[in-house]
Amino acid sequence: MPPLLDGFLAIIRRDLLLAWKRPGDILNPLFFFAMVASLFPLAVGPSPEQLVLNGPGVVWVAALLATLLSLNSLFLSDFEDGSLDQIILSPQPLPLLGLGKAAVHWFLSGLPLVLVSPLIAMTYRMPGEVVGIMMLTLALGTVSLSLLGSIGAALTVGLNRGNALLSLLILPLAMPVLIFGARTVSLAAAGDAVSAGIYFLAAYCMLALTLAPFATAAALKISNE
Amino acid sequence: MWNFLHKMASPPHFYGLSAKMIPWLYAAGVVAVIYGTVAGLFIAPVDEEMNDGFRIIYVHVPAAYISMMAYMVMAVAAGIGLIWRMKLAHAVAAGAAPLGAWFTFLALITGSIWGRPMWGTWWEWGDPRLTSELLLLFLYFGYMALRAAIDDTAKADKASAVLALVGAVNVPIIHFSVEWWTSLHQGPTIIKEGGPGIHPDMLYPLLGMILGFTLLFGALLLARVRTEVLHRESRARWVHKLLMPAGEPG
Amino acid sequence: MTALLSANDLCLVRGDRCLFRSLNFALNPGELMFVGGANGSGKTSLLRGIAGLLDFATGHVTWDGRKILDDYQLFRSEVVWLSHRVGFKDELNLIENLQFESALRASSMDKSAPVIERLGLARLTDLPFRYLSAGQQRRVALARMLLAKARLWLMDEPFTNLDKAGQGLVAELIAEHVGSGGLCIAASHQTVEIAAPTIRVML
């Protein structure tokens, strides 16, 4: 019986190697993130009070949309070239393999967002202490989104117009993460206590980490039939 | 008991049994709704703070309650279908979804009408229940959209079952999040109904309406599931016997 | 003596069509089963059902006396799958692809060199997979089967799109595998003679 982590590490290594050969794939969601964040001042006006007020919400909405953008292709290439058959038929536990895909997705999409977010926050005149809280909420939130998103990606892989359907499925489920993430940052900006929000985000993250891989595995088997 | 459940799981038995149950459910439901409507419109006293407009809660609250219950029925049925591979359970889930969506829509409309005099607007983001109902409607839409996107019925059943279960886990979390979010804003809330101070003359019509709506939901659900079953089992012999008069060549 | 792999009363429904019903078979080590039939008759679906990738409407498949879905992980460690979608990544080269496979299946890469040599792939190890021809890609899939320590080979149309030499190679490998105690189920609309005890099923 092979050690349980072999497949998990192997799929991470393989997907990172694939991403290394196509580095452009990381940049798209980042550019999208930056562009969406730029839309608001352009549309609503650059008044400083509005910027400061809207900053946390805008950063969070942009991060959510950028994450959705990159979720669509999570399982697509494996589905199309037959790798998904081999992955499902491997003796390694499918939930762990699904978790590995979600982990790579976060590393290539969520983590860069977190690292770039201070730049966006700066354009919204977010004070330094608040930026730290924002990055923490984004880190926890993007992990949850990658996990939740992998379920949606598994359910819609290979469907016509699966992209729009994926967003429709995931957005309502992602609302708690958005609500707690964005409002916690607003609370930090107002000087209020943020522990409730951080605890919630961490708890949701743990819940997603425990349950999402099983849902993703079930969805993959169903979609691959 | 086990035998009864086993029998119920068989589509032809269900089809026969539900035919007998539906008229009773409709009758009882209509009676309860008539009681609730008459009592709610004429007998319940007017609250000091509100005028007669509050009476719309006799539609809004039951509709909201059914919208949540329908989602749970859908999720449980989908789960049973997925785990125990019962085709009838999948048919129940498929039938419950559009019904639940309609009740959610009804709850949103009536909630909006109710709040208008108080808020001065047709929509108030700060009201937790209205926003929760809206997200519930999106969950229903997602479920129905996923079903519609998959051609093979069995595959659609299984995929939407996974979605329904994931949604069911998230529904309480969504509710809690929206409550927390609106509590920060300290906006106007609809009513403290169900609290200790509610007048019995106001409460009983409400309970009557809830009971009535539940019975009617049951009848409507059975009717939808019957149609689903006929559609899914259209090649089975019992369906052919049912739809073609006796004596004609099959 | 009960067969190692057997199936009981299989019925498959795709969309609204019943592709086949009341299908039974039994397969023992050292035996090969050929599934024949016209295109669209359900050969691929039968194989996918045996693999556990899709559900049968009725009936079940047993491996070693137990239903495969009762201990699916055990069954997966005994099975290896080949189809026309070879299941390798285009951007990675042969070695990188096989390394991933070996981690998935607990087979070691040590034996890979002689296998690659035997299949005539030695010169192609550094090319991205997309540059290999269809025949060469199929041979990499055969390498996967040789490297996996799996008793049951499930092969969907293994002879299609291969020249005579390629078909001969596949036949030879199947004969060897079956000859050393393995089992093989191959679906093909072509009839190919293989030196092994063969059961034929027509859909």
- Those chains having 3 or more beta-carbon pairs within 8 angstroms of chain B are A, C
> Per the domain annotation, does C102 fall within a domain?
yes
Residue C20 is predicted with a pLDDT of 87
Question: Which H or E run includes B212?
Answer: helix B200-232
> Per the domain annotation, does B28 fall within a domain?
yes
Quick one: what percent of chain B has pLDDT higher than 70? Answer: 87
**pLDDT tens digit sequence for A172-191:** 999 999 999 999 999 999 99
**pLDDT tens digit sequence for A95-104:** 999 999 999 9
Task: Give the pLDDT band of residue B189 (cuts 50, 70, 90).
Answer: very low
> Per the domain annotation, does B19 fall within a domain?
no
- DSSP per-residue letters across A45-69: ---HHHHHHHHHHHHHHHHHHHHHH
Give the residue-averaged pLDDT of A192-203. Answer: 94
Task: Give the pLDDT band of residue B192 (cuts 50, 70, 90).
Answer: very low
pLDDT at residue B197 greater than cutoff 60:
no
> Per the domain annotation, does C127 fall within a domain?
yes
Task: Give the pLDDT band of residue B187 (cuts 50, 70, 90).
Answer: very low
> Per the domain annotation, does B16 fall within a domain?
no
> Per the domain annotation, does C50 fall within a domain?
no
Q: Which residues, numbered 144 to 183 in chain B, qualify as contacts with chain C under a Cβ-Cβ cut-off of 8 Å?
A: 151-152, 154
Residue C97 is predicted with a pLDDT of 94
Residue B49 is predicted with a pLDDT of 64
Q: How many domains does chain C have?
A: 1
How much is the ipTM here? Answer: 0.93
Range of the domain at B196: 24-44+52-234
- Those chains having 3 or more beta-carbon pairs within 8 angstroms of chain C are A, B
> Per the domain annotation, does B15 fall within a domain?
no
Per 3-state DSSP, chain B is made up of helix, strand and coil in percentages (nearest 5) of: 80, 0, 20
Task: Give the pLDDT band of residue A163 (cuts 50, 70, 90).
Answer: confident
pLDDT at residue C57 greater than cutoff 70:
yes
- DSSP category for residue C93: B
Q: pTM value?
A: 0.92
> Per the domain annotation, does B198 fall within a domain?
yes
Q: How many domains does chain B have?
A: 1
> Per the domain annotation, does C5 fall within a domain?
no
Give the residue-averaged pLDDT of C50-70. Answer: 91
- DSSP per-residue letters across B89-148: HHHHHHHHHHHHHHHHHHHHHHHHHHHHHHHSSS--TT-HHHHHHHHHHHHHHHHHHHHH
Give the residue-averaged pLDDT of C78-94. Answer: 93
**pLDDT tens digit sequence for B55-92:** 888 899 999 999 999 999 999 999 999 999 899 999 99
Which of B194-203, B211-220, C119-128 has the highest mean predicted lDDT (pLDDT)? B211-220
Closest CA of chain B from C98, distance in Å: 32
Measure CB to CB from residue B146 to each of A169, A172, A211 and give the nearest one: A169
Per 3-state DSSP, chain A is made up of helix, strand and coil in percentages (nearest 5) of: 85, 0, 15
Q: Which of B10-19, B183-192, C98-107, C159-168 has the lowest mean pLDDT?
A: B183-192
C14 and B235 within 8 Å at the Cβ level: the answer is no
Residue B195 is predicted with a pLDDT of 45
Measure CB to CB from residue C89 to each of A13, A18, A92 and give the nearest one: A18
**pLDDT tens digit sequence for B36-61:** 888 888 877 776 666 677 788 889 99
Please answer whether residues B137 and B101 qualify as being in contact, where contact means their C-beta atoms are separated by less than 8 angstroms. Answer: yes
Give the residue-averaged pLDDT of B115-134. Answer: 87
Range of the domain at C125: 88-146
Residue B237 is predicted with a pLDDT of 85
C15 and B151 within 8 Å at the Cβ level: the answer is yes
> Per the domain annotation, does C169 fall within a domain?
no
Rounded Cα–Cα distance for residues A62 and A167 (Å): 14
> Per the domain annotation, does C54 fall within a domain?
no
